[in-house]
Every structure is written in C-alpha cells, then in structure tokens.
Amino acid sequence: MDFCKTYMTEAMKKALAEAFDSGYWHGGGPYTKRVESILRQRFGCDVWMTTSCTHALELAVRLCGLSEGDEVILPSFAYPSAANAVLLSGASIRYAPVDAVSYCLDVDALEGLLNDKTKAVIVIHYGGNSHKIRELSEFCRKKGLFLIEDAAQAIGSTVDGKALGTFGDFGTISFHSTKNIGCGEGGALVVADRHSDKRHEIECFLEKGTDHTAFKRGDREFYQWSALGSSYVPSDLLMAILYEGLQTFDEDNKVRLAAHRRYAEFFRALAHPAILNHSDRVKGESRHNAHLFYLVFRDKIGMQDFIGGMKARGIPCYQHFYPLHTAAFGRQFDMKDTDLSMEEHLWDCLVRLPLYTRMSQDEVDRVLTAAADVLESIHG
C-alpha cells in the first residue's frame, strides 16, 4: 500500500498535452495566468506562481528587507525551508516552541522571545491547521513585525471563511505532489494588499532581475537587467496540470476529508491508552483541509512498535519533522533557554498514517484493520 499517491486525472493529462503541443513550455504562459487568476479569487489578493514553496519563502523573506543582524522567530518543529530562507538573506533565526495541542507556533510564548533584532515571525500551519492566527497577526502588527505564513500544507484550509496564507504580510503555498493538490513541483507567493507597491520587485526577482514581465504586458519597449533577481518562474507545462487540478479541488478534497473523518471516528472510539493525542483532538479555529492524520504515542517505544507492526502488515507509516534545534546544522543557533521538549517529544512519538486525495473506503479499512491489530498488542 502507498503512504501517499500523486493525484492525477485525465483532464490534467489532456491539459498537459495541449500545453506540450502549444510549444509554450517556459514560464509566465497562458496556463500560469489562469492558475494565478483562480488563486487570486481564492485568496482575495495578489498571487505569484513559483517553482516551489521554498522559493516562495525565500522571496517572502527578501520582501521583508532583512539583512545581517536581523532575527526571525520560527518554530523548531518545521521543515528546514523556512529557516534556510532566513539564513540565505543574511539574517538569523530564533526557535519558538509550538502549542501543545495544535503543534503550531505558540503565540503566547512570543513576547518573551522578542528583542531589538527581531524583524519577522514565520508561522507553520501544521497539518493544515492554525493556532490563534488572528491574535498572531494583531501581535505582529502592533510590534511592527512582518508575519510570513508557511501554508505549504494548508491549501483549502480557512478560519471563518478566510484562507490560511492571507492573515499575514506574505503567505506561501506548496503544490508538491505530496500536497492535497500538486503538479510535481510548484508553489505560490500570496501577498497582502498593503504590499501592492512591491509588485515590480516581485516580478523582477522572479524573472532573473529583469523587467521581462512588464515588457510582455506592453509596459516596456524592451526589457533589461533592472534589479537583483533569480529564476523562480515555473514551467507552463506544470501549470497546465495544476490548472485542471484546481478546477475540481474542492470537490475532490471531500474524499480526503471523508477518509480523515473515518480515521478520527475510529481512534476517538478506540481511546487507546498508548495514544496521547491524534489529529481529531485539534479542536481549533481552522476548518482544515485533511492534509494529514497523525497519532502521538505516549513514548518512543509505542511509536516504534506501531510503525514496525504496520510495516509488517504492508502499511507504511512515518514520523514527521526532525526538530530544527536538534538537527546537525540547526544546533548552532542559540535557543536562549527556550523549552523545546515538546518538539523532541513529537519526533519521538508522532506517527503519520497513509492519507491522500481519492483514498478509497477499502484503503481506509485496510489501514484501520491493521492499526486495530497492531494496537491490540501495544499496552498503554
């Protein structure tokens, strides 16, 4: 059985063939424009497509104007992309703890982490959930800090109808094949309306530091090197795949949500003493997108026994983020006496179950049957 399956449709294949036959394989083409239009409607603000969420994070950090001596607060329980984006700008990072229920950044701990070097906060919407995002947005506004939302896992997640990725200054989305909707590799940068003056800077950086986008719009007679930049524009071939996926995303994701609910109902009813927490217990503010389903065991032995037992039954299950502060490269950054034991506990005890778009009821049954069998042998 697969842990994750790439979501694909005949419509995607047809769009890819059309894009292929058109000969427009490079970036900024007709499919890219259609995708950006759909996402602008979804998010209610400007969106630019990038080659990855990682590149979107790098651009978001750049737009904050960070430099050497500046500091950005971000959770240790995260993928390295956000930390790398900060370090590549010349700024430094400070680890923040996560909330003990949502595993998103602990907003209540932020005040004690601030100093005169702090310029921005990056929040990771773990599993498509958020924690006190409105409070966090207001906190950053009052303190004069930029807020970047790493919403890589959160396409389709909302709070009171407002999409995650739109509460801060900048949001970043992933369209990697492991996400709820993907195109192989791809991302998007979501920009709040108050930063509309950065349009030219964004366009130039995406297009190798040139004003090529303005030229294609007819705003320039020719294009030239006009700023510092890189090459972050995705191929229109990939955008053709993504365009068709976005057309039916909300309907398709209902199947994923149904699988998530089945998991939740099972483990809620089971109430196994070895399991300390699971995805269904995150009764937060978000209407989540069912990006993942996890179990958190009381100890490392329970986690290892479960993964081993499921593997023996042909069901792959995996841990998740290795805490940044314990990683080989991440240990060099000062933790300022911050308690990050929760992050270490999550590495030792959190297990993700197979979950993907269009996961069938039979596949869910197979996972739950195996889980029940394994858990029967694990005592709390």
Domain of 283, CATH number, reads 3.90.1150.10
Question: Does 307 lie in the same domain as 294?
Answer: yes
Domain assignment present for 3: no
pLDDT band at 13 (very low <50, low <70, confident <90, very high): very high
Q: Which residue has the tokens 């790098």?
A: 58
Give residue 282's pLDDT: 63
Question: Residue 307 sits in which domain range?
Answer: 250-376
Domain assignment present for 81: yes
Percent of the chain with pLDDT over 70: 98
Domain assignment present for 1: no
Give residue 161's pLDDT: 94
Distance, CA of 147 to CA of 92 (rounded, Å): 16
What is the value of pTM for the model shown? 0.95
Question: Does 278 lie in the same domain as 162?
Answer: no
Domain boundary among 220, 247, 274: 247
Lowest mean pLDDT, pick from 83-97, 234-248, 323-337, 360-374: 323-337
Give residue 285's pLDDT: 82
Dihedral angle sign, alpha carbons of residues 295, 99, 182, 157: positive
Domain boundary among 222, 247, 272: 247
Percent of the chain with pLDDT over 90: 86
Q: What is the mean pLDDT of the chain?
A: 94
Give residue 284's pLDDT: 67
CATH number of 199's domain = 3.40.640.10
Distance, CA of 331 to CA of 334 (rounded, Å): 8
Domain boundary among 179, 214, 247: 247
Summarize the confidence of residues 8-30 as an average pLDDT. 94
Summarize the confidence of residues 242-255 as an average pLDDT. 95
pLDDT at 143 over 90: yes
Domain assignment present for 2: no
pLDDT in tens, 67-88: 999 999 999 999 999 999 999 9
pLDDT band at 133 (very low <50, low <70, confident <90, very high): very high
pLDDT at 281 over 80: no
Domain assignment present for 5: no
Over the range 354-380, which residues count as b (16 or more CB within 10 Å of their CB) and which as e? bbbbebeeebbebbbebbeebbeebee
DSSP letter (8 states) at residue 65:
T
Distance, CA of 85 to CA of 331 (rounded, Å): 17
Question: Does 327 lie in the same domain as 255?
Answer: yes
pLDDT at 283 over 70: no
Question: Does 350 lie in the same domain as 228?
Answer: no
Counting every residue, how long is the chain?
380
First to last CA, the chain: 28
Q: Which residues, 6+ apart, have CB-to-CB distance to 158 below 8 Å?
A: 164, 286, 287
Question: Does 258 lie in the same domain as 225?
Answer: no
Lowest mean pLDDT, pick from 260-269, 298-307, 332-341: 332-341
